[in-house]
Structure formats: structure tokens, C-alpha cells
Amino acid sequence: MRFEDYHISYEIKKNLSKLGFIKPTDIQFKSIPPILKGEDVLAIAQTGTGKTAAFAIPVIDMLAKRKNTDRKDGIKCLVMVPTRELAQQIADVFEKLSKHTRLKSYSLFGGVEQDAQISRLSESIDILITTPGRMFDLISQGHIRLDRIEILILDEADHMLDLGFIKDIIDVKRKLPSKHQTLFFSATINEKIKKLAYSLVKNPIRIQISPNDPVSKNVNHSVAYIKMDDKRFFLERLANENPESKILVFVRTKVRAERVFKAMERVNIKSVTIHGDKEQDDRFDVMSQFKKGEVKMLIATDISARGIDIPNVEYVVNYDLPDVPENYVHRVGRTGRGKEKGFAVSFCGEEEKLVLKEIEDFLGKEITETKIDKEDYHTTLDLTEDTDNNWKALLKQNEEFLKNKKKPRLSKKK
């Protein structure tokens, strides 16, 4: 089936065609019809399978048709997401797909001054994409009304649960009109998420894509056993061997992100970082540089994983293995998106082997090991341009010098 066969408006079909969307992905094919019928939907699908368009296409079509009748102004669709970057990216999708309709969408998040946001909220907005924190601030100040909401969308619901937003989600539901449609989208499912989902939706259509494999089949997975202190040298090697590839590097903490950034700086590899300590303008600037390919390496923490939807990311590097196995899925979902091929490379230290086992249990399969022999391992360390590690190369040179110096000389015949 092609998008042109759907009973959606000509304007949306035209926008889809311009964006190169010809046939729906599995999640889109299964989600669009029930959403158009007004059903509640509970959808579980891998990251990178086209979830945003799966709800954006039918929602835009429904709201655009309703807007053409005499209806009161006000926010008609509320999209709740866990991160600022995700809010902005979903807003971009809504904007592109709703061109030539009368719908207006807006993304709302913290980390920036609220005056401009308050001014924009006073204008006509049909679709609000928002993070919970800033939304509740402005609700309490009387700048956001939810009494005309017709559709509630919870995207990356599993991550919102991880971040402790469950009470916020329940509070929002209480403020909505009793009759509204709820769409619940998540990349992973467990008992806690299932319990939350069924408390929020009514007789939902349940959709689950690739339940036996939570990661895309387009991603090649590998793990290499590397000492914690040596990981930066192997990242340097990977970057130098793939100079034209976009590389997304995940670390555990903000401090680690900056340390890896400094290490790459010492070996003349340009990179940028994104984490919770970054100002919002800096975060958008970093994402823009990486998206345009001006910088080929982005170093991120898990808090940023859900908001990174950048095309043509060839490598995802788990520089530090994630503490939560589910986060592995969200990290590697940044590559191999759609029909693209991608590589997920994990660096595993001795102290991370138990974490690796938990990830493999979650995936239901082992990750292929990339074996590094001793000679190749030491060659990687020796060839680094890191001045902090040059002592190893100098020491080796000194050993060779002393070895040659100690060789016995042939005595001259008397």
C-alpha cells in the first residue's frame, strides 16, 4: 500500500511526496487506520521505524478536517515527550507534514526564557509538543488551557516513566475533557510500562512491531574488550579509519562526556558534546553542527539519546555500556534508521562484563565479539597522537635503543 491510497487530505499526500515518503513503514501501516477511526492506540516499536509520522499523519488529517468547521480555538492535540530535543524534532515533523493546512504546531520546553513562549501561547495553536516540566509551570500560571484537548499523545513513554514523570502524566489526564483519544507510543515494554499504559488508554488497539527483536535488523552489533583507560585510543582509531562517517558516542555521565571531548581534542579530532549542563541554545547549535556534518562526532549522555534523530549516523559507539539494558536499544536506534545500514560498536571494560550480559539477556542474543590480538591492541596504543600517551611510544623506543646498545661488538683481531 502507498500513501496515495490512504483516505487522507491531498495536502498531506503532497507533503509526504515532497519528503520522499512513498510507502508506510510497518508501524505506520498498522497505526494510521485505527487512529483515523478515533481508537486509542498502544504501540510498541523500535526506535527509527517511523513512529512520529505514524501518529502525526492521521492526527494532522483529523484536526485539519475539523478545523474547517466552526470550532472554538484552543489546543486540540497535546504531545508529551521526555526531552527538549525530541520536542523540537517532533514539532519539525508536524510542521513539514501540515504545510498548506491551517494547523499551527508549537514546541514548548524548559531551559529558555518563558516570555517568548507565553507570547506564542497567546496566539492560535492547534498542536502543542511539550516536556512536562515547563508545561506544568505555564499551566499553573494560567497560560495553558487543556479543556479543549481532543487527542493526547505520549511519545517515548518508557523514558518518561524512567524519569519519574508518571505522576505528571496522570495529572494531565485528570485535566483533559473526559472524552478524548489517547495514543501511547514506546520503544520498549515491561510490566511497569504495561500497567501505566492500560491505566491511560481505553480498549486500545495494541500494536507491537518486531517483538522478538527490540533493535533494528539494519544494525550490525559488535563488542570489543578494551581496558577503561584505553577506550579513547580505540575511539581515535575508529574516527581516523572512518573520517567521512558520522559517529555518535554514548558515555555514562556529563563529566565523562567532557573528558572524552578533551581526549579527542588532543588528537585533533573535532567533536561536540550534548548533556544536561548545556544551555538550550548550545544544545540546538551542537545538534545543528552534527546534523549538517560540520562535526562528525557527537558525544552524548543517555538523557540525550531520545532526542537525537539525525540522518546518516553510521556508527553508534557505546564508549561506556549503559547502566539500564533498555537504554542500549535507544542508543543503537540512532543508527540503521529506516532503510539505512548502521553499526553499533561497544567498548567493554572488565568491570562492565556483567552489564554486557544483562544487555544480551534483554536482547535475547549474544553480541558478536570483535577480537583484538595483543599486537593489534598495542599498535593502537602506540600509534595514538595523544600527548598524554606518548610516553608509551617513547618508552618502547628507549627499550629498542637500549637493546641495540647492549648488543656485543665484534672484537678487532689483534
Residues 160, 55: one domain? Answer: yes
Residues 100, 225: one domain? Answer: no
Q: Tens-of-pLDDT digits for all 414 residues of the chain? A: 899 899 999 999 999 999 989 999 889 999 999 999 999 999 988 767 788 999 999 999 999 988 766 566 789 999 999 888 889 889 999 999 999 898 999 999 988 889 999 999 988 899 999 998 899 899 989 999 999 999 999 998 877 777 677 888 888 888 899 899 999 998 777 787 788 888 888 889 999 886 555 566 788 999 999 999 999 999 999 999 999 999 999 999 999 999 999 999 999 999 999 887 777 778 888 888 998 899 999 999 987 656 567 888 999 999 999 988 888 988 888 888 767 889 999 999 999 999 999 999 988 899 999 999 999 999 999 888 886 655 555 555 555 555 665 555 444 444
pLDDT in the model for residue 405: 54
SS3 breakdown of the chain: % helix, strand, coil, rounded to 5?
Answer: 45, 15, 40
Q: Is residue 314 part of a domain?
A: yes
The helix (run of H) or strand (run of E) holding residue 370 is: none
**What pTM value is reported for the model?**
0.70
CA distance 183 to 179: 13
Q: For residue 344, what is the domain's CATH number? A: 3.40.50.300
The helix (run of H) or strand (run of E) holding residue 208 is: strand 205-208
Whose cell is 591492541? That residue is: 377
Residues 74, 202: one domain? Answer: yes
Residues 31, 167: one domain? Answer: yes
Q: Is residue 409 part of a domain?
A: no
pLDDT in the model for residue 413: 46
Q: Is residue 405 part of a domain?
A: no
For residue 246, give every residue at least 6 positions away whose Cβ sits within 8 Å of its Cβ, in sequence order, or none: 290, 293, 296, 297, 298, 310, 312, 313, 314, 315
In the chain, DSSP finds a helix count (H) and a strand count (E) of 16, 13
HEC letters along 46-70: CCCCCHHHHHHHHHHHHHHHHHCCC
- State how many domains the chain has: 2
The helix (run of H) or strand (run of E) holding residue 172 is: helix 166-175
Q: Is residue 412 part of a domain?
A: no
> What cell was used for 258?
567532557
CA distance 172 to 154: 11
Residues 241, 311: one domain? Answer: yes
> Reduced to 3 states, what is the DSSP secondary structure of residue 166?
helix
> What cell was used for 256?
565523562
Residues 250, 320 contacting (CB under 8 angstroms): yes
Across 245-385, the runs of DSSP E, i.e. the strands, are 246-251, 271-274, 297-301, 313-318, 342-348
Q: Is residue 151 part of a domain?
A: yes
Residues 307, 376: one domain? Answer: yes
Q: What is the mean pLDDT of the chain?
A: 86
Domain that holds residue 144: 3-208
CA distance 31 to 169: 22
Residues 123, 145: one domain? Answer: yes
Residues 177, 256: one domain? Answer: no
HEC letters along 86-139: HHHHHHHHHHHHCCCCCCCEEEECCCCCCHHHHHHHCCCCCEEEECHHHHHHHH
> Reduced to 3 states, what is the DSSP secondary structure of residue 311?
coil
Residues 256, 118: one domain? Answer: no
Q: Is residue 287 part of a domain?
A: yes
Residues 47, 188: one domain? Answer: yes
Residues 151, 182: one domain? Answer: yes
Q: Is residue 407 part of a domain?
A: no
DSSP 228: G
From 157, 173, 189, select the one nearest 83 (Cα to Cα): 157
Residues 12, 151: one domain? Answer: yes
From 46, 120, 43, 52, select the one nearest 85 (Cα to Cα): 52
Q: Is residue 406 part of a domain?
A: no
